[in-house]
Amino acid sequence: MKIATWNVNSLRARADRVEDWLRRTDVDVLAIQETKCKDENFPWELFENNDYEVAHFGVNQWNGVAIASRVGLDDVERTFGGQPSFGKGGKDPIQEPRAMAATCNGVRVWSLYVPNGRALDDEHMEYKLQWLDVLKDNAASWLERDPDAQIALAGDWNIAPRDEDVWDIDFFVENRMTHVSEPERAAFRAFETAGFSDPVRPFTEGAFTYWDYTQLRFPRGEGMRIDFALTSPALAARVNNAWIDREERKGKGASDHAPVVVELAG
């Protein structure tokens, strides 16, 4: 069984590439982020025509998450318990479509699009850290209730947890950039403390998952590792391979993120 996560940066704009990739890779479950569409204009037929069930959570042209599965799609859940809302300046807060879950052949898969943060002193950073803290508390409670639960927290985390996860840590620190700050990294480590682990890194040391469109970041190799599929202990024990499909970042109409794939035994 293969589970993947991919920030597609507009599903309708990348529909052909997503369809081709699914057919080529034979993935069983795909957690998708940044669909950038509402439920009513989501390309349902893309998945249905390829024998995938799909659930989507989108309310406008921003954010949006989905899960496509050909091995079952049960107990679909939009948002996690207590998921923080956001409104600029604290006004008219809404619960953004950034998290959804479904059970796929016994695995509870979460598609997560963690808030960006934007700047170290931006109100989005406070929102990001609160969002992660509440998610962590939920994730810890799931394992407390069932230590044998098979859970994948898959998505765009917008955090580079180690210095080697960016092309030049000095550049990031000197420019006071997000994604590498200690509060963000501490929020990521909290999931590891809660019992989740990254099964992809041992197979992909030194690899990135994201390259900005600007300043020739991709051909210059100036990327970041910010997409993860953190797994519970029971699920981590089943992982026998994992990879980052860097080739999918190439060519016309590519997303700025590459798919991340985890292969399970059994």
Active site residue 75: no
Active site residue 56: no
Nearest to 111 by CA among 263, 266, 265, 260: 260
Residues 6+ positions from 113 with CB-CB distance below 8 Å: 7, 33, 34, 63, 64, 65, 98, 99, 155, 156
Q: Which of 28, 156, 165, 198 is catalytic?
A: 156
Nearest to 152 by CA among 99, 205, 223, 211: 99
Active site residue 179: no
Rounded-to-integer distance, Cα 132 and Cα 115, Å: 9
User: How many CB atoms within 10 Å of residue 23?
Assistant: 10
Q: Output the 3-class SS for 229-265.
A: EEECHHHHCCEEEEEECHHHHCCCCCCCECCEEEEEC
Binding-site residues for Mg(2+) sit at: 7, 34, 156, 158, 256-257
Rounded-to-integer distance, Cα 240 and Cα 170, Å: 35
Rounded-to-integer distance, Cα 234 and Cα 239, Å: 10
Rounded-to-integer distance, Cα 142 and Cα 222, Å: 37
Binding-site residues sit at: 7, 34, 156, 158, 256-257
Identify whether the C-beta of residue 63 lies closer than 8 Å to the C-beta of residue 110.
no
Q: Which of 28, 52, 113, 227 is catalytic?
A: 113
Residues involved in catalysis: 113, 156, 257
